[in-house]
Structure 1
Amino acid sequence: MRRSLLPAALAALAGALALTGCGSDSGGRPELSAGAAYMPQPVSADMAAGFLTVTNKGGGADELTSVTSDIAGEVTMHSTSGGAMTEKTSFAVPAHGRLVFRSGADHLMFEGLKRKPREGQRVTVRLGFAHSKPLTVEMPVRSATYIPSTGN
Structure 2
Amino acid sequence: MAGSVLVSLVSVASLAALAGCSSADASEDKPQLKVSGAFMPQPVSDMASGFLTVTNSGGAADKLTSVTSDISDDVTIHETKDQKMRQVKSFDIPADGELSLDRGGSHLMFMGLKKKLEQGQRISVELHFEKTDPIKVDLPVKETTYNPTRH
Q: Indicate the TM-score class for this superposition, using the shorter chain for normalisation.
A: 0.7 to 0.9
SS of aligned partner of 2:149: coil
SS of aligned partner of 1:72: coil
Aligned to 2:74: 74
Q: CA deviation at 1:70?
A: 0.5
Unpaired runs of 5+ in structure 2? 1-13
Contact 1:25–1:58 (8 Å) recurs in 2: no
Aligned to 1:3: none
Aligned to 1:136: 136
Residues 1:108 and 2:128 aligned together: no
Aligned to 1:47: 47
Q: Structure 1: how far apart are the matches of 2:119 and 2:52?
A: 17
Residues 1:124 and 2:140 aligned together: no
Q: Structure 2: how far apart are the matches of 1:130 and 1:108?
A: 17
Contact 1:25–1:59 (8 Å) recurs in 2: no
Cα deviation 1:19-68 (Å, max 9, x = unaligned): x86x9583310001111000000011x10010000110000111111101
Name the aligned partner's letter for residue 108 of structure 1: L
Aligned to 1:85: 85
Q: Structure 1: how far apart are the matches of 2:97 and 2:56?
A: 5
Aligned to 2:146: 146
Name the aligned partner's letter for residue 133 of structure 1: D
Q: Structure 1: how far apart are the matches of 2:95 and 2:31?
A: 7
Q: Structure 2: how far apart are the matches of 1:70 and 1:41?
A: 17
Root-mean-square deviation over aligned CA pairs: 2.4
Name the aligned partner's letter for residue 29 of structure 2: G
Runs of 4+ in 1 over 6 A off after TM superposition: none
Q: Structure 2: how far apart are the matches of 1:140 and 1:27?
A: 32
Contact 1:33–1:55 (8 Å) recurs in 2: yes
Residues 1:95 and 2:95 aligned together: yes
Same amino acid, percent of matched pairs = 50
Q: Structure 1: how far apart are the matches of 2:43 and 2:123?
A: 12
SS of aligned partner of 1:30: coil
SS of aligned partner of 1:113: coil
Q: State the TM-score, normalizing by the size of structure 1.
A: 0.82
Name the aligned partner's letter for residue 105 of structure 1: G
Aligned residues: 139
Q: Structure 2: how far apart are the matches of 1:48 and 1:101?
A: 14
